[in-house]
Amino acid sequence: MLQNSVSKSLYKRLPIYLDYCLDLKEKENAMYVSSKRIADDLYLGEVQVRKDLASVCTSGRPKIGYKLDILIDGITKYINCHILKKAVLVGAGKLGKALLGFDEIRKYGLEITAAFDVNDMEEECNIPIYQFNDQNIESVMNKKKIDVAILCVPKNVAQSVCNKLIDKGIKVFWNFAPIRLNVPNDIIIQNENLAYSASLISSLIK
C-alpha cells in the first residue's frame, strides 16, 4: 500500500470507526463487518469507508467483509493509541479540572500524570497539582517522559506558559486557551478553541 499523505480527515474518522467496531464486537459478538454496514450505521459513504479501512488494514475479503479483530488492531495501531503517552495539564481551573477527570482519553492513548497551576492545590481525580515553576516542571519531567502538554490557562498567560514548556522540551500541545500560539516549526499545536466553536453554533441559528 502506497498511501502516506497524512490526511487529517482520515484521522478524524478513525476513532469513529474504532468506537463502532469495539461496540459491535462487544454487543453483537460479531466476527466480521462489511463496509456497507459501517457506512449505513455511521452515515458515511460505502466507498469512503472501504478506502479509509484500506489505509489501516488488509483484512477485507469479498463476500465476507472485514475481520473485526484485525480491523480494531489496525486502527488502534494506526492512530497510535495502543501506546500510552503521558501528558501534563497546565491550568487547573474549572475546565482543567474537568479534563483531569476525563478518563475517556486513556482509551485513545493519553494519560494525564500531573497538573500545574499558579499555586499548589489539592489533588484532583488522583492527579497531583503542583505550582507551575521550573523546579516542579523539571521534577515531573525527569520522573517520566512527558509527550504532550494540555493548556487550560487564561488567554493572557498562554504564550508565556507555552514558551516555558517548549524550553523544557515539550513538542506537542493541546491548547484550550482561546489564543493562537506562536511557536517554532517543529512544535505541534492542536487548538481546541471552544469559543470559536460557539461562533460556529451561532452562525447556524437563524
CB of 134: closest distance to a copy of itself in angstroms? Answer: 24
141 binds, among a copy of itself, DNA, none (CB under 5 to 8 A by kind): none
Residue 24 touching a copy of itself (CB under 8 A): no
Which amino acid, residue 106?
R
Q: Find, among 64, 76, 62, the residue nearest to 21 by Cα.
A: 76
Residue 126 gets which letter from DSSP? T
Q: Show Cβ contacts of residue 71 under 8 Å, excluding neighbours closer than 6 positions.
A: 17, 21, 33, 53, 56, 57, 59
User: What part of residues 149-178 is at the interface with a copy of itself (CB under 8 A)?
Assistant: 172, 174, 178
Applying CB under 8 A, does 78 fall inside the site for a copy of itself?
A: yes
Q: Does 101 bind a copy of itself (CB under 8 A)?
A: yes
Query: Which residues contribute to the site for DNA (CB under 7 A)?
Result: 1, 5, 7-10, 34-36, 44-48, 50-51, 53-54, 58-66
CA distance 107 to 134: 31
> 25-64 mask for a copy of itself (x: CB under 8 A)?
-----------------xx---------------------
Which of the listed partners (DNA, a copy of itself, none) does 133 bind, with a CB threshold of 5 to 8 Å by partner kind? none
DSSP 110: E
Residue of 15, 6, 176, 26 whose CA lies nearest to 108: 15
